[in-house]
Amino acid sequence: MKTWIPDSRNFAFLTWKQVDALPRGSTLLVLPTAAIEQHGHHLPLATDTLINNLLLGKALALIPQDLSIYALPPVCYGKSNEHLGFPGTLSVSAQTFLAVVRDIGASVAAGGFRRLALYNTHGGNTSLVDVLARDLRAEFGLRTFSLFGSAGAPFEGVSEQERTWGFHAGEIETAYLLHAAPELVQTDEFKANYIARVEQPELLKPEGSWANFAWLTKDISSSGVLGDPTAATAANGERWSSEAAARIAEALIAMCKSEPRHGA
């Protein structure tokens, strides 16, 4: 798998003696969670995992060397059952995902580390990551944090329609990979499809509302795309990924330095 994680920030590249020398209380370990699933005709199955690695790698490169922050190897397989029926999608159940990340958290705690950030770039994992952050805090006393996607980057130049409903293999994800791994993007295979339209608001939404309907990608899109990749450019991918990385770096630094509230 391609990686943009700096070698000096890669936890798996350390020996156990080097790990033993890390300051347990202040070291922040970052666990990436993503997916291996269909991303239309034009993007690879590893898109979510590659984007996670790209943004986290760029963010770690911005962090001062005196801060002890390391990336753990990613959990590549996620809860991707919305994409089942498309060849190549590899999904685990919610129970399996919860168990695997819980056990990694247990190992982190057993090693004496106190801070763990869950960095997720697959929408199907989002609610599970929220549950895990609270459960790991309660069960092991870990200072647990959650971080999602592009960390609220503004994506200047993206249309309202794409910003709202272009959340799978659309312009932003395609731009990221055109910038970072253009050899993996099939630019002659772009397809566009949306799950909803901003100019046609309905009571029941696909997600992010107080009244949602459950959906499977195959119910909506024959190509597997939920968005429009045609406007994507490598230049925008570079700019947007740098903006996202700066926000992620800021969040990681805050997590590393944060102190318990009310003496907890």
Q: Could you give the CA distance from residue 166 to residue 159 in angstroms, rounded to a whole number?
A: 10
Task: Give a yes or no: residue 180 inside a domain.
Answer: yes
- Tokens matching residue 250: 């800021």
Query: pLDDT digit string (tens) for 122-134?
Result: 999 999 999 999 9
CA neighbours within 13 Å on the CB side: how many for 218?
A: 10
Task: Give a yes or no: residue 173 inside a domain.
Answer: yes
The pLDDT value given to residue 112: 97
Query: pLDDT digit string (tens) for 187-207?
Result: 999 999 999 999 998 999 888
Task: Give a yes or no: residue 22 inside a domain.
Answer: yes
Location of structure tokens 């000096």: 8
Q: Could you give the CA distance from residue 166 to residue 221 in angstroms, rounded to a whole number?
A: 13
Query: pLDDT digit string (tens) for 8-30?
Result: 999 999 999 999 999 999 999 99
Task: Give a yes or no: residue 2 inside a domain.
Answer: no
Task: Give a yes or no: residue 1 inside a domain.
Answer: no
Task: Give a yes or no: residue 53 inside a domain.
Answer: yes
Rounded to two decimals, what is the model's pTM?
A: 0.96
CATH number at residue 141: 3.40.50.10310
Per-residue pLDDT of the chain (264 residues; tens, 9 = 90+): 899 999 999 999 999 999 999 999 999 999 999 999 999 999 999 999 999 999 999 999 999 999 999 999 999 999 999 999 999 999 999 999 999 999 999 999 999 999 999 999 999 999 999 999 999 999 999 999 999 999 999 999 999 999 999 999 999 999 999 999 999 999 999 999 999 999 998 999 888 899 999 999 999 899 999 999 999 999 999 999 999 999 999 999 999 999 877 655
Task: Give a yes or no: residue 106 inside a domain.
Answer: yes
Task: Look at the chain and report how many structural domains it folds into.
Answer: 1
Task: Give a yes or no: residue 51 inside a domain.
Answer: yes
Which of 199, 222, 238 is CA-nearest to residue 86? 222
The pLDDT value given to residue 263: 59
Range of the domain at 94: 7-263
